[in-house]
Amino acid sequence: MGKRFKHGHAGSGKHSKTYNTWIDMKRRCINPKRDNFKNYGGRGISICDRWNKFENFLEDMGAAPDGLTIERKDNNGNYTPENCYWATWRQQNRNNRRIKLNPFKVQLIKKLLKESQLTQKEIGKIFNVCHSIISAIKLNRKWKYEH
């Protein structure tokens, strides 16, 4: 059996949603080879030193609740305990009146299509696009960046 971490969120080839969120957050901010680095680390978004250790991230944020993702209160601010909370997809997109789809949002849509029980219409409402755009993304067709 593989190494088990004392926090119980990683090991034996399986990671919790909370651990995956932490890893993805670090990759967005640190790894310039990641597609979405330009929207995070590439524009100066960083992670507080305390969160370099998963146990501290877990202590500050708690386990990721079902259906929620990490969100920053200040979109231009760093990943810190004071600036982060668990949010719904709708909350993450609430501040945008006219949402443009970009490759990062398309990946989020694909993830929702695969992993959530939301309908295409519900996902469309979250991203402020009609369900036919969601259908096109699901079928890997081209879509308009604005709708």
Residue pLDDT, tens place only, 93-104: 654 434 567 888
Output the average pLDDT for the chain: 83
15-29 core/surface letters (b: 16 or more CB in 10 A; e: else): eeebbebbeebbebb
Residue 142 has pLDDT above 70, yes or no: no
Two structure tokens written together for 104: 């990062």
Two structure tokens written together for 93: 């997109």
CB 62 within 8 A of CB 17: no
- Cβ-based neighbours of 59, under 8 Å, separated by 6 or more: none
**Whole-angstrom distance, CA of residue 99 vs CA of residue 86:** 21
84-87 and 69-72 as β-strands: parallel, antiparallel, unpaired? antiparallel
Better-scored residue on pLDDT, 23 or 89: 23
- Across 56-65, 98-107, 124-133, the highest mean pLDDT is recorded for 56-65
pTM of the predicted structure, to 2 decimals: 0.60
- Give bridge partners of residue 15 from the DSSP assignment: 10
pLDDT computed for residue 2 by the predictor: 45
Residue position matching structure tokens 């330009």:
38
CB 101 within 8 A of CB 127: yes
Percentage of the chain modeled with pLDDT above 90: 47
CB 1 within 8 A of CB 12: yes
